[in-house]
A = this chain, B = another copy of it.
Amino acid sequence: MPDAGPGLPLFHQLRELSVEFELSRGAFARLHGLHPTDLRALIQLLDAGRAGHRATPGWLGDQLTLNSAGTTTLIDRLERLGHVQRVRDTRDRRKVFLEVTPAAVDLGWSFFGPLIDASVAAMAAFTPAELDTARRFLAAMISTAAAQRATAAGSPAR
């Protein structure tokens, strides 16, 4: 049982934040008749688009930890809803690219827009130096969690 030092409250906040974001996604998904997975997929696809990465079913399945069958069903669903289009690669015709429709982009903004606006507004209460501290802190916590996950995956839980 780890220490009960000053780090624990901070850790609980990280958890709480994570839960809060997850609940937001769930609520939004329900509101729009999407499954949580559908929204997660859409977010991944929008991120990929922003990063200039062309998403494929295999890549998407990896991101969401779905197997290929589940991924196909997911994409069928998104395609039927008009959020995504399958486009065959002309070079490697085994591949399929996933292209997000403008309607889905709008949907994405309707989810993140207000949340971003509110967050940015709340950040105004902090000095640039403080925000930089927050940025460094978050970066540290993200990489810690990622590292932890990487090691835990290999070792049998203690």
- Scoring A residues 1 to 36 as 1 if CB is less than 8 Å from chain B, else 0, what string do you get? 111011111110111111011111011100110000
Q: Supply 9 A–B pairs (Cβ within 8 Å), ascending by A.
A: A8-B120, A14-B119, A15-B21, A24-B149, A26-B65, A115-B144, A118-B144, A118-B148, A133-B134
Q: A7-B120, A26-B65, A133-B133 provided; 5 other pairs, C-beta below 8 A?
A: A8-B120, A10-B119, A10-B131, A24-B152, A121-B144
**Residues of chain B within 8 A of A133, CB atoms compared:** 126, 130, 133-134, 137
Q: Are A117 and B23 in contact (CB under 8 A)?
A: no
A116 to B102 Cα, complex, angstroms: 41
In A132-158, which residues have CB < 8 Å from any B CB? 133-149, 152-153, 156-158
Main secondary structure of the interface of A (DSSP, over half): helix
CB A20 to nearest CB in B, in angstroms, measures 4
Compute how far the CA of A5 lies from the CA of B130 in the bound complex, rounded to whole angstroms.
16
Task: Kindly report which residue of chain B lies nearest to residue A130, judged by CB atoms.
Answer: B133
Most chain B beta carbons < 10 A, residue from A2, A11, A130: A2
Question: 4 closest Cβ contacts across the A-B interface?
Answer: A7-B120, A18-B21, A13-B138, A134-B137
* Residue from A10, A109, A110 having most chain B Cβ neighbours under 10 A: A10
Given contacts A110-B157, A149-B24, contact A141 B11 (CB under 8 A): no
Chain B residues contacting A110 (CB-CB under 8 Å) are 157-158
